[in-house]
Amino acid sequence: MDRLRIVGGKPLIGEVEISGAKNAALPILFASILSSEKSVIRNIPLLADINTTLKVLDSLGLKTLFKLENHTIEIDGSTLNSHEAPYELVRTMRASVLVLGPLLARRKIARVSLPGGCAIGARPVNFHLEALEKMGAVFNIEAGYIDGAAPNGLKGSKIEFPFPSVGATENILMASVLAEGNTRIENAACEPEIVDLAIALRSMGAKISGEGTPIIEVEGVKALHGMNHSVAPDRIEAATYLCAGLITKGKVTVTGINENFMKSPLSLLKESGALISSTANSITAEYVKPLLPLRITTEPFPGFPTDMQAQFMALLTQANGESVISETIFENRFMHVPELTRLGAKIDIKGNEATVKGPVSLSGAIVMATDLRASASLIIAGLIAKGETIIRRIYHLDRGYEHIEQKLIKLGAEIYREHEK
Ligand code: UD1
């Protein structure tokens, strides 16, 4: 198992190229199931979750080719010959449940291991199943598997989600493009990754309108051709590097992304006193004066993303005063707090609210990564902690950040990946 060793105290200065978004790439790769033709998907980030997705597609019989050096994946949809996403793969990546919509749409049958809980909460899939049932699917849940069938094919329907779930919106969008008739999704998630999925599906001939708003309308078509798409940039990765730069009192420019993807986190960084400037293709955050505390509430897009909560919390340990962070999306997403506390952070949790007292002087320690974004917050804190911070269990990090230590080294960080027995 690998670990990261960070020697804190080096200011981060420079430019970093943002990779394709993991959370856009995963549903888009699964959307290739919808066509019997060849799909070409570019700007794929090099991440463990992408490899898991390819294993799921391979297990369904699809032929996949990952051209690592050009970040491109080719998928041959003609060889689809299975409808099962097995436990060993779903266990390592919950997003595998996104095969459900495409498989039911194309093969009228799907068998997917029930994802179960994860470190950040229970994360049920009831919205996905209820909506697919409305479209004509029937499910049987037994022995840890969801067995789904749509013997008469999926029918376009009016779906109203109780909450704008990202995954459920994606699953239903993928199911509806090949359903018979029209589908209207109400209270749809509006995240940029949903918009990217809709663009990818449209490149296959799907008829979709309203993506990026709470109402998405789809006119089902009989068949889709292969996809040709370049994945949108990763707004969570970008925000992570901006926070990393600011905590070190540095100046970091993220390239390949524009501010429309991240208005809420950028306005909060401005409110805290950072100097933010942007071009059509880059965003710069510069430390110019001591940071002010913030009040943050995680919300569905366009609100502040839960996936940036941990990184902002690390940054706010250095703000002048008390910040309050409310987590409203996942019930157990403060797992990074005890680890940040080991580095010297002063954080109190009451229910879903964390109060962060700053500024505190952090000092290096051995800490444990508990989930993807928690790992990123530990790196951010480690960058200014006195002495050495060792972060263990970084396999979480490799699921979602491409070459993170190399990108940080380029910005001036002292960070080493080490093999731990
Ligand atoms: C996606 C992202 C994840 C992000 C999250 C919220 C991917 C691969 N993952 O996860 O990084 O943190 O959006 O922005 O894109 N819920 C239900 N029933 C359901 C579905 C969801 O109760 O059937 C609840 C969840 O438990 C959670 C909330 O709805 O409390 C939001 O979850 P959702 O938007 O579905 O998150 P994911 O799609 O799993």
- What pLDDT is attached to residue 384? 98
CB 414 within 8 A of CB 14: no
**Distance between CA atoms of residues 380 and 250, nearest Å:** 12
**Distance between CA atoms of residues 81 and 155, nearest Å:** 23
For ligand 1, whether the C-beta of 306 sits within 6 Å is yes
Q: Determine the residue type at 337.
A: V
CA atoms within 13 A on the CB side of 104: 36
Nearest alpha carbon, ligand 1 atom 33? 165
* CA 97 – ligand 1 centroid, Å: 12
* CA 273 – ligand 1 centroid, Å: 31
Residue 16: pLDDT over 70: yes
What's the pLDDT tens digit per position in 71-111?
Answer: 999 999 999 999 999 889 988 888 999 999 999 999 999 99
Number of H helices, E strands in the chain: 14, 24
- Which domains does the chain possess? 2-19+233-419 (3.65.10.10), 22-230 (3.65.10.10)
Comparing CA positions, the residue from 201, 257, 224, 204 lying closest to residue 45 is 257
Token pair of 114, please? 């029930």
Please, which residues have CB within 8 angstroms of residue 259's CB and are 6 or more apart in sequence? 266, 278, 283
For ligand 1, whether the C-beta of 248 sits within 6 Å is no
What's the pLDDT tens digit per position in 289-340?
Answer: 999 999 999 999 999 999 999 999 999 999 999 999 999 999 888 999 999 9
**Distance between CA atoms of residues 397 and 310, nearest Å:** 13
Q: Predicted confidence band at 122 (pLDDT cuts at 50, 70, 90)?
A: low
**Distance between CA atoms of residues 395 and 370, nearest Å:** 10
Please, which residues have CB within 8 angstroms of residue 340's CB and are 6 or more apart in sequence? 313, 314, 317, 347, 377, 378, 381
**Distance between CA atoms of residues 388 and 267, nearest Å:** 32
Q: Predicted confidence band at 119 (pLDDT cuts at 50, 70, 90)?
A: low
